[in-house]
Amino acid sequence: MPFSQFLDYLHLEKNYSAHTLTAYKADLSAFQNFLKEEFDSEDLTEVNYPQIRTWIVSLVESGISNRSVNRKVSSLKAYYRFLQKTGHMEISPLAKHRALKTPVKVQVPFSEKEVKQVLDSFETDTFVGIRDKLIVELFYTTGLRRIELINIKAGEIDEENQVIKVLGKRNKERYIPLLASVCESVKAYRSARKALEVSLNGNHFFISESGVKLSESFVYRIINNYFSKVSGKLKTSPHILRHSFATHLLNQGANLNAVKELLGHSSLASTQVYTHNSIAELSKVHKMAHPRNKKD
């Protein structure tokens, strides 16, 4: 079965981004090329696990990190699940595969001070300034994923009821409450957007000055540009803002299950990675409040 059907499935049924689809295609093509060179075959349905294991070993020996190898194998595993689902394969050759061990990667969130510095830096008398400020506010106050923010439609933000409808992974809808201050920023952006003398291409809420839907790389550059000026962190991406949203909520005592729902996670395990950064804050509270730590 050609990759195109699998990629169409990911795009139409799973709502995966163009960036993700490109990564899947590259991973599958790389494995197919490996099969052709090493085993004189391009048929992925006739593959056995020892052949896949040989590919994994070659990737590791080439210097690719275990994390990157696991991602590539994950693409292959997803393809075989699709073949099983569509009746083209009974048993996946990766059915008993175990992922390579990887070090725990703790993302460092922005501090509340850094976020405030960025939000205070915007010039709100221009379309770009108004738009970029709202983008930062939405990432930080709702925990949106980058692709979720890009795909927001004009009618999916309800300022009156202070809520936003989001289409997440696997086309799963969720509603996230909005702060009153963010709703004011939404109104300001709507006015600035309406004042643009351009023909709008589609119904996407966030657009460029020429009326075009924003790309993932464009949104990344917006966040990186503003936060690199106030932060010395190596990573200043939209994901770090999402990370900051979760961490700051947990630091203030938010319920883990509530944060899970806001983030759109399917399992609590995905949300628990954010508790690493709140441990330090919890430790402070614990030491200050516990009676056994009180000195006479």
Concatenated DSSP letters of 153-181: BGGGEETTTTEEEEE-GGG-EEEEE--HH
Q: Which of 274, 278, 244 is nearest to 260 (CA)?
A: 274
Give, rounded to a whole angstrom, the gap between the first and last alpha carbons of the chain. Answer: 75
CA distance 237 to 227: 8
Helices (H), 86-126: 112-119
Q: Show which residues are catalytic.
A: 145, 169, 239, 242, 265, 274
- Amino acid 209: pLDDT: 93
Confidence category of residue 45, pLDDT binned at 50, 70, 90: confident
- Amino acid 42: pLDDT: 85
CA distance 121 to 137: 13
CA distance 252 to 218: 32
| pLDDT at residue 244 greater than cutoff 60 | yes
What pTM was computed for the model? 0.70
Mean pLDDT of 154-179: 91
